[in-house]
């Protein structure tokens, strides 16, 4: 699955690398696209201020178009596939019914006079994901914060700066571009405009493992299905988490550099103990 500035998301055959079906309907760039857990649906997020649900087999829209008042940067399914969370430049994250596209919750609804602010000054929500059981939403904002919400009660449970030691960087340098949950629900990985990746214990959200080495903003970061590896973008790096370590801060990391798309046929491994900061 790919998303593009051309306004089209494409579903590809992972073996033949041929296009299976395009998802046509967005009027502007598509910023994210992801499958439902059972692979039957796709949700896309777009610069046209909408998110859409698609049939992954036919490429046809399945539900009511989901509307925001700003760019929709991110859209993702809950683990059980019944709900969708979206992140938008209108300063909100929203939860939707994945079957009919109806809005269930808005987090939060700030009254902001956008005419008095530049795009960088608006506290856009640029990434979002559900926790393991779907009762909480975790968001990343362009002011460099991670938020955890009880979305049903619309209550903020945590608000943590991505760089806990503070920063004098401008807003557009600290944006949290991606948040993703580990398969066991214990950890969150974030990627930021400050060139770093951070891995957090969700229960505490303190003393993250900080991974440095990228020379540009990080727009993608995720765990492997078994939770033992992490894939980090811009230039893709794979991380192997040593199962023998009890603390995430002390884990041995093996950096594996992909030689070419789709395989790890040639790699360099660098072993190092990384401190949290």
Q: What is the pLDDT of residue 207?
A: 83
In CATH, the number for domain 2-273 is: 2.130.10.10
Are the beta carbons of 32 and 75 closer than 8 angstroms?
Answer: yes
Q: How far apart are the first and last CA of the chain?
A: 34
- 250 alpha carbon, distance to own chain's centre: 25
Q: Which of 130, 127, 94 is nearest to 219 (CA)?
A: 127
Which helix (DSSP H) or strand (DSSP E) does residue 106 occupy? strand 103-107
CA distance 157 to 169: 26
Q: What pLDDT score was predicted for residue 228? A: 58
Q: What angle do CA 8, 13, 18 make, to 5 degrees?
A: 70
State the pLDDT at residue 266.
Answer: 24
- The pLDDT value given to residue 173: 63
pLDDT at 236: 42
| Gap between the Cα atoms of 179 and 74, Å rounded | 10
**Sheet arrangement for strand 103-107:** 72-77, 83-88, 93-97, 103-107
Looking at residue 109, what is its pLDDT?
56
pLDDT recorded at residue 118: 55
pLDDT at position 226: 65
DSSP 38: T
Tokens, residue 182? 């580990």
- What's the average pLDDT block by block, 10 residues per block, for the chain (277 residues)? 95 92 97 96 98 97 95 97 96 97 87 50 85 96 91 94 55 79 92 89 88 86 69 46 35 28 26 31
Q: Phi and psi dihedrals of 24, rounded to 5?
A: -105, 130
Residues 6+ apart with CB under 8 A from 226: 183
Q: Identify the pLDDT of residue 211.
A: 85
At 89, list the tokens: 């430049």
3-state secondary structure (DSSP) of residue 183: coil
Domain boundaries, the chain: 2-273
pLDDT of res. 213? 82
**Alpha carbon separation from 175 to 20, 41, 50, 213, 242 (Å, rounded):** 34, 29, 21, 17, 29
- Token digits for 225? 């299905």
DSSP code, position 249: G
pLDDT at site 240:
46
Which residue stretches of 138-216 are H helix? 171-174
**Distance in angstroms (rounded) separating the CA atoms of residues 84 and 77:** 4
């Amino acid at each position: 699955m790919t998303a593009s500035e051309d306004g089209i998301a494409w579903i590809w055959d992972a073996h033949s690398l041929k296009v299976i079906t395009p998802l046509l309907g967005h009027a502007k760039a598509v910023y994210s696209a992801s499958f439902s857990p059972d692979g039957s649906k796709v949700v896309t997020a777009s610069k046209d201020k909408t998110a859409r649900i698609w049939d992954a087999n036919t490429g046809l829209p399945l539900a009511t178009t989901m509307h925001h008042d700003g760019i929709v940067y991110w859209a993702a399914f809950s683990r059980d596939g019944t709900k969708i969370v979206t992140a938008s430049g209108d300063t909100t994250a929203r939860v939707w019914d994945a079957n009919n596209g109806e809005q269930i919750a808005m987090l939060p609804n700030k009254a902001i006079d956008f005419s008095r602010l530049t795009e960088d000054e608006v506290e856009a929500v640029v990434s979002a994901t559900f926790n393991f059981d779907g009762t909480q939403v975790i968001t990343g904002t362009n002011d460099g914060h991670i938020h955890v919400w009880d979305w049903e009660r619309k209550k903020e449970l945590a608000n943590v700066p991505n760089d806990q030691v503070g920063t004098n960087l401008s807003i557009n340098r600290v944006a949290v571009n991606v948040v993703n949950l580990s398969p066991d629900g214990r950890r969150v990985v974030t990627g930021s405009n400050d060139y770093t990746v951070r891995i957090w214990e969700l229960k505490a959200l303190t003393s993250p493992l900080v991974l440095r080495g990228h020379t540009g903003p990080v727009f993608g970061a995720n765990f492997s299905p078994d939770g033992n590896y992490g894939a980090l973008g811009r230039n893709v790096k794979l991380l192997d988490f040593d199962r023998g370590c009890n603390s995430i801060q002390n884990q041995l990391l093996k950096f594996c550099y992909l030689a070419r798309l789709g395989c790890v046929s040639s790699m360099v491994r660098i072993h190092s103990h990384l401190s949290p900061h």
